Amino acid sequence: MAGGNSNFPRTLRAMDLEIRDTRSTYEVVAGEFARAQAEGHPELRHDIDSFARMLPPALLVADVGCGPGRDLTLLRAAGMRAVGFDLTEAMLRVGGRSGVAQADMRHLPVRTGALDGIWCQAALLHIPHRYAPAVVAEFARCVRAGGAVHLAVAEGSGEGWEEFAYGSDGRRWFAYHTEESLGGLLAAHGLAVVEVRRHHHRRDWLRMLAVRNA
């Protein structure tokens, strides 16, 4: 991993409203979120297995937008060395997992090509559309050729504020994606989609697994 992220203080100072308010809401609901989401779901297990099959054991992966870190435990149980990054300090603290750091997914504190994989579960959906290309480019930068990227996002079109979740009336920004829009973005950054799956749980979920071209 890199020793630090010189971009991070600048990002915090100039943080956009959508990202700042979403983070503020997660600061408040972290405990309730961790309780509500502790169990996971069958689709998650399937996606962890698909992701693990792409990668020999003991390789280094990052769970980006890891929240309290439920998936870090699953990724480690599947044989991977997994570190976690999240913008919300309370989410990292409440999970109490080792190997986590606060970071904005637009500027990850990772050396170019240092990761064998990125796991990003239900987190890209909080990034305004105008930053989605920069995030996908950042993921492509961090993952070595042949490495894997897993994305689970809310499926649909448009973006906007959603209120009332996990016992709070705080607002979170939701940006929706389609297979075409996200697939196009991945392809444009050298990430070839190898698996697309969907399920419905409170909203429509789109899950994509991609491999970094040489």
Ligand X SMILES: C[S@@+](CC[C@H](N)C(=O)[O-])C[C@H]1O[C@@H](n2cnc3c(N)ncnc32)[C@H](O)[C@@H]1O
Interatomic CA distance for residues 202 and 152, integer angstroms: 14
Interatomic CA distance for residues 117 and 150, integer angstroms: 8
Binding-residue total with ligand X (CB under 6 A):
21
- What contacts 53, CB < 8 A, 6 or more positions away? none
Binding positions for ligand X, 4-43, rule CB under 6 A? 19, 22-23, 26, 37
Interatomic CA distance for residues 30 and 34, integer angstroms: 6
Closest CB to ligand X among 20 and 192? 20
* Residue of closest CB approach to ligand X: 67
Find the binder of ligand X among 29, 74, 105, 153 (CB under 6 A). 105
Closest CB to ligand X among 42 and 214? 42
Q: Does 66 bind ligand X (CB under 6 A)?
A: yes
Q: Does 87 bind ligand X (CB under 6 A)?
A: yes
Q: Does 212 bind ligand X (CB under 6 A)?
A: no
Interatomic CA distance for residues 111 and 94, integer angstroms: 27
Find the binder of ligand X among 75, 123, 142, 151 (CB under 6 A). 123
| Among 64, 152, 146, CA closest to 108 | 64
Q: Does 62 bind ligand X (CB under 6 A)?
A: no
The residue length of the chain stands at: 214
Q: Does 90 bind ligand X (CB under 6 A)?
A: no
Find the binder of ligand X among 104, 116, 138, 155 (CB under 6 A). 104
Q: Does 70 bind ligand X (CB under 6 A)?
A: yes
- Least Å distance between CB 126 and ligand X? 4
- Least Å distance between CB 127 and ligand X? 6
* Torsion angle of the four alpha carbons 98, 50, 58, 150, in this order, in degrees rounded to the nearest 10: -50
Interatomic CA distance for residues 172 and 65, integer angstroms: 14
* Torsion angle of the four alpha carbons 163, 39, 31, 156, in this order, in degrees rounded to the nearest 10: -20
Interface residues with ligand X (CB under 6 A) are 19, 22-23, 26, 37, 65-67, 70-71, 86-88, 91, 104-105, 121-123, 126-127
